Amino acid sequence: MLGSQIRLVALDLDGTLLDSQHQVSPANARAVETLRRHGVKIVLVTGRRFRNVARIAQQYGLGDVAIVHNGALIRNCHHGEVLYFQGLDAALFRELVHFSRKMEQFPFVHVDPQQTRIFFQKDDSQNPARSEYVARNQADMIAVDDLIKALSGPPVIQMMFTHAIAPLEKFKRRLKEQFSSRAKILETSYPDRDYVFLDVIHANCSKGKALAWLLQIGNLLPSQVMAFGDNHNDLEMLQLAGHAFLMENATDELKSYGFTIAPANDADGVARIVEEYWNSGR
């Protein structure tokens, strides 16, 4: 049975383990229980922040470790211990704020790996994606007049920009041209809903590098790892895993990399693969 060779399963959340209603389906919940019965370590890997991930992990009883903020932070799902963290350099953060101001893009800044807070500068632009993000995370949002003055102390985990896809295209191109050698710039795109997230984190961070760190300390090989993802920020993680599955709902661009295609997130894709590997005698 091939499943017996796998010791760790890395699960992206949005578009992968979670369905379109941001829920874990009964089938996927049963798949998690199957993995637990076989002693497989479950790692949740996401661009989300830890508080949101911990809530999901507790609600559905899944996840041992969470790689959050696209790999800048790793925390234990059960008691929240910080296992790994790399923040943005303070000087680079200030430069990024000045750059984004000139291009009239306004970041959300996630700070403090222990108690993540989100700082932002109010603006008058018409940006429904940004307004939606503020409303959804209202309890942790802190509006300030000047990001640089407000954030002279706590470590910055990431900067995040969101907008409809077209208005952010020029900014994305210029951001990568100027900063891709000094920071990791990751894109999570949702064409069907016409919005995109751009995350800026430490240059040495990504989902793939964070997963590689976990493999190293756990003395695991890539051949013992199964990973599921659906978006651009999952690419390095999928390339690392010995058993990599791209969801059917992913873009054609990602499908061109040749990963094995799993059924879509709304068709219980994770559960279907887990059942095939662990229950069919494969």
Residue 185 CA to residue 180 CA, distance in Å, equals 6
pTM recorded for the entire structure: 0.90
Task: Please report the pLDDT score of residue 274 as a whole number.
Answer: 96
Average pLDDT of every residue of the chain: 91
For the cut 50, the answer to whether the pLDDT of residue 1 exceeds it is no
Determine the residue type at 177. E
Residue 190 CA to residue 199 CA, distance in Å, equals 14
- 77 near 48, Cβ under 8 Å? no
Give the β-pairing of 41-45 and 8-12: parallel
For the cut 60, the answer to whether the pLDDT of residue 271 exceeds it is yes
Task: Please report the pLDDT score of residue 124 as a whole number.
Answer: 65
Q: What percentage of the chain has pLDDT greater than the value 90?
A: 70
- 70 near 158, Cβ under 8 Å? yes
Task: Please report the pLDDT score of residue 277 as a whole number.
Answer: 92
pLDDT tens digits for 117-165?
Answer: 899 987 767 788 888 889 888 888 999 999 999 887 778 999 999 998 8
**Selection from 7, 10, 9, 6 nearest residue 233 by Cα:** 10
pLDDT tens digits for 37-57?
Answer: 999 999 999 999 998 899 889
For the cut 60, the answer to whether the pLDDT of residue 73 exceeds it is yes
pLDDT tens digits for 152-204?
Answer: 777 899 999 999 888 899 999 999 999 999 999 988 888 878 888 999 999 99
Q: Which of residues 257 and 137 earns the better pLDDT score?
A: 257
Which two structure tokens, joined as six digits, stand for 158?
Answer: 């990431």
| Dihedral class, residue 267 (left if φ above 0, else alpha if ψ from -120 to 50, else beta) | alpha
**Selection from 210, 180, 266 nearest residue 46 by Cα:** 210
Q: Which of residues 186 and 266 earns the better pLDDT score?
A: 266
Task: Please report the pLDDT score of residue 280 as a whole number.
Answer: 64
Three-state DSSP class for 246?
strand
